[in-house]
Amino acid sequence: MGEFKGFLKYDRKKQSEEDLESRIENYDAFQHRFCNDDASEQGARCMDCGTPFCQTGTGVGKETVGCPIGNYIPEWNDLVSKGQFKEAFERLAETNNFPEFTGAVCPAPCESSCVLSINSDPVAIKGIERTIIDEAYKEDWVKPRTPNHRLGTRIAIIGSGPAGLTAADEMNAWGHKVDVYERDMKPGGLLRYGIPNMKLDKEVVERRVSLMEDAGVRFHCGINAGVDLTYEALDEKYDAVIVATGARKQRDLKLEGRQSRDIQFAMDYLTEQIKYQFDEIDAPSISAKDKQVVVIGGGDTGADCVAMALREDCKSVFQFNKYDRLPDAVKGNPFWPLEKKEFKLDYAHAEYEKKFGVEPRTYGVQTMGYDVDFLGDLKGLNTQVLGEESLNGLSVEDQERYFKADLVLLSIGFEGVESELPKAFGLQMDNNKIAAAEDDYRTSRQKVFAAGDSRRGQSLVVWAIKEGRGVAKAAHKFAVQNKMFYKSS
């Protein structure tokens, strides 16, 4: 246990951040780690409750209870509270290949499930995790996971997002020779080309990729498997193939006028902006500069668009949310161990409010039509007010509202997997995802495994890591057994 009655003695602390006004002048990551003393104090708040819901990790419908990768949270809380950061890092590294990613971007279902959160503030688990790994890098404790010997097996991994990277890290460490094939020009998947730099510094991704290269993993970028690389070529060369290509097919809102160049997918906007920031393209084709922007979709990707548009110096942003505003925050969590249903200001909303004096979200709004002129330029959006709260007291005429807009960013989720690779590889699909069992990750094709968003649909980085670890075990077993069989026959 961290400290007897520590949770009564110390309050939950937030990690410090760059101030709201100055950070929108650049694209730098704005959140800091705890200093060691603060992390120790926060670790001391852990009650070691005996039933650590925080580390259980199960899916309940679309929600998650506890940490999906089963991080040994109470154990490292205790170690950190005693200042034993090296031991805490070693324990953390047993379950999490990339704490630097989750420590920066995980929505921390562990904290919602923390027993303390029933009637108080949860332990700052994510901030402690981030501090452990940052300290580990600072002290040079993070080393390439180079295997002691090679097994003589070869594994191909398609896709280098967190699922593919995790599978590569595990399988290489166990002695397989691992080749990762990636369509983009650099590895990382959505860690690099989706999540903005403000939330996850791309140097953090590069640092990990380069450790993996030092350990022997080979990355082949700019290769579109299924087009540049056939299944037959992979089958000939490799003992197992892991498909971790994500679920990138974006949901569209096909209303009249959709063909306007001023209506774009959120992901295309974010990816281009990130490429532009890192000099991978000369100029972005989608820009929010000096524009009245409407982001359709109230989720996290939409919030990332708000943050990006602010940094581009947009004129204004409305972020449409179909649902009513959630109630204001209260202490304690009546939904425990699930996430609390309360009003939150995401980082982007707080930044916007600071600059413009209002938060950018509008609630209970349904888009009914795009107003596009004969030249194809967007003028605005016709909307209808929905939801009990939002409709409250409105006359029939007031239920329709027009929003001026020069740019619309569609952020209404993802339909599933792009179909080219599954078609080319002859893989069976299940509801827009690659069909593969949850226990052994095997697809309809002998030798081919699937994991991450391509198997479970758009999800979270922490679930991708969980899937990467799971698929690595399954492919390892398969490849080793096959090798033994062929050697002895």
Ligand X SMILES: Cc1cc2nc3c(=O)[nH]c(=O)nc-3n(C[C@H](O)[C@H](O)[C@H](O)COP(=O)(O)OP(=O)(O)OC[C@H]3O[C@@H](n4cnc5c(N)ncnc54)[C@H](O)[C@@H]3O)c2cc1C
Q: Determine, following the binding rule CB under 6 A, whether residue 195 of this chain makes contact with ligand SF4.
A: no
| Residue found by looking up tokens 């204004």 in the block | 316
Encoded one letter per residue, x for contact with ligand SF4 by CB under 6 A and - for no contact, window 21-50 reads: ------------------------------
Q: Determine, following the binding rule CB under 6 A, whether residue 78 of this chain makes contact with ligand SF4.
A: no
Question: What are the residues whose beta carbons fall under 8 Å from the beta carbon of 357, sequence distance 6 or more?
Answer: none
Q: Determine, following the binding rule CB under 6 A, whether residue 47 of this chain makes contact with ligand X.
A: no
| Residue found by looking up tokens 């027009």 in the block | 402
Distance from C-alpha of 409 to C-alpha of 361, rounded to nearest angstrom: 14
- Please identify, using beta-carbon distances, which residue of 244 and 286 lies nearer to ligand X: 244
Contacted by 161, from ligand SF4, ligand X, none: CB < 5 to 8 Å by type? ligand X
Distance from C-alpha of 454 to C-alpha of 433, rounded to nearest angstrom: 6
Please state, in angstroms and as integers, the Cα–Cα distance from residue 428 to each residue in 450, 455, 479, following that order: 11, 11, 22
- Please identify, using beta-carbon distances, which residue of 127 and 364 lies nearer to ligand SF4: 127
User: Residues binding ligand SF4: what is the number (CB under 6 A)?
Assistant: 13
Distance from C-alpha of 481 to C-alpha of 388, rounded to nearest angstrom: 59
> Residue 199 in 3-state DSSP?
coil
Residue 306 near residue 348 (C-beta atoms within 8 A): yes
- Please identify, using beta-carbon distances, which residue of 80 and 200 lies nearer to ligand X: 200
> Residue 410 in 3-state DSSP?
strand
Among 29, 106, 309, 474, binds ligand SF4 (CB under 6 A): 106
Q: Determine, following the binding rule CB under 6 A, whether residue 160 of this chain makes contact with ligand X.
A: yes
Q: Which stretch binds ligand X (CB under 6 A): 153-161, 203-211, 283-291, 399-407?
A: 153-161
Contacted by 181, from ligand X, ligand SF4, none: CB < 5 to 8 Å by type? ligand X
Listed residue (4, 69, 38) closest to 472, CA to CA: 69
- Please identify, using beta-carbon distances, which residue of 107 and 369 lies nearer to ligand SF4: 107
Q: Determine, following the binding rule CB under 6 A, whether residue 161 of this chain makes contact with ligand X.
A: yes
Q: Which stretch binds ligand X (CB under 6 A): 13-21, 109-117, 274-282, 461-469?
A: 461-469
Q: Determine, following the binding rule CB under 6 A, whether residue 162 of this chain makes contact with ligand X.
A: yes
Q: Determine, following the binding rule CB under 6 A, whether residue 67 of this chain makes contact with ligand SF4.
A: yes
Encoded one letter per residue, x for contact with ligand X by CB under 6 A and - for no contact, window 224-263 reads: xxx-----------------xxx-x---------------
Return the residues of window 110-149 that contact ligand SF4 according to CB under 6 A: 110, 125-126, 129
- Please identify, using beta-carbon distances, which residue of 340 and 404 lies nearer to ligand SF4: 340
Contacted by 129, from ligand X, ligand SF4, none: CB < 5 to 8 Å by type? ligand SF4
Contacts for 368-371 with beta carbons within 8 Å, 24 or more apart? 368/255, 368/400, 369/255, 369/256, 369/257, 370/255, 370/256, 370/257, 370/258, 370/260, 370/263, 370/408, 371/257, 371/402
Distance from C-alpha of 459 to C-alpha of 246, rounded to nearest angstrom: 9
Q: Determine, following the binding rule CB under 6 A, whether residue 461 of this chain makes contact with ligand X.
A: yes
Structure tokens at 352: 């916007």
Q: Determine, following the binding rule CB under 6 A, whether residue 301 of this chain makes contact with ligand SF4.
A: no
DSSP 15-72: PPB--HHHHTTS-S--B-PPPHHHHHHHHTT----SS-GGGT-EEETTEEES-TT---
Chain length of the chain: 489
Among 158, 294, 405, 409, binds ligand X (CB under 6 A): 158
Among 108, 168, 263, 270, binds ligand SF4 (CB under 6 A): 108
Structure tokens at 460: 């979270």
The distance from CA 344 to its chain's CA centroid, rounded to whole angstroms, is 19
Contacted by 126, from ligand X, ligand SF4, none: CB < 5 to 8 Å by type? ligand SF4
Distance from C-alpha of 165 to C-alpha of 180, rounded to nearest angstrom: 8
Report, in Å, the least distance between residue 112 CB and ligand X: 14
| Residue found by looking up tokens 């069976």 in the block | 428
Residue 91 near residue 74 (C-beta atoms within 8 A): no
User: Residues binding ligand X: what is the number (CB under 6 A)?
Assistant: 41
Q: Determine, following the binding rule CB under 6 A, whether residue 102 of this chain makes contact with ligand SF4.
A: yes
- Please identify, using beta-carbon distances, which residue of 436 and 462 lies nearer to ligand SF4: 462
Distance from C-alpha of 185 to C-alpha of 325, rounded to nearest angstrom: 40
Residue 20 near residue 130 (C-beta atoms within 8 A): no
Q: Which stretch binds ligand SF4 (CB under 6 A): 66-74, 233-241, 291-299, 328-336?
A: 66-74
Q: Determine, following the binding rule CB under 6 A, whether residue 109 of this chain makes contact with ligand SF4.
A: yes
Residue 379 near residue 404 (C-beta atoms within 8 A): yes
Q: Which stretch binds ligand SF4 (CB under 6 A): 65-73, 131-139, 224-232, 348-356?
A: 65-73
Q: Determine, following the binding rule CB under 6 A, whether residue 73 of this chain makes contact with ligand SF4.
A: yes
Contact positions vs ligand X (CB under 6 A) = 105-106, 158-164, 181-184, 189-190, 194-195, 199, 223-226, 244-246, 248, 267, 270, 300-301, 304, 421, 452-454, 458-462, 464
Contact positions vs ligand SF4 (CB under 6 A) = 67, 69, 71, 73, 102, 106, 108-110, 125-126, 129, 462
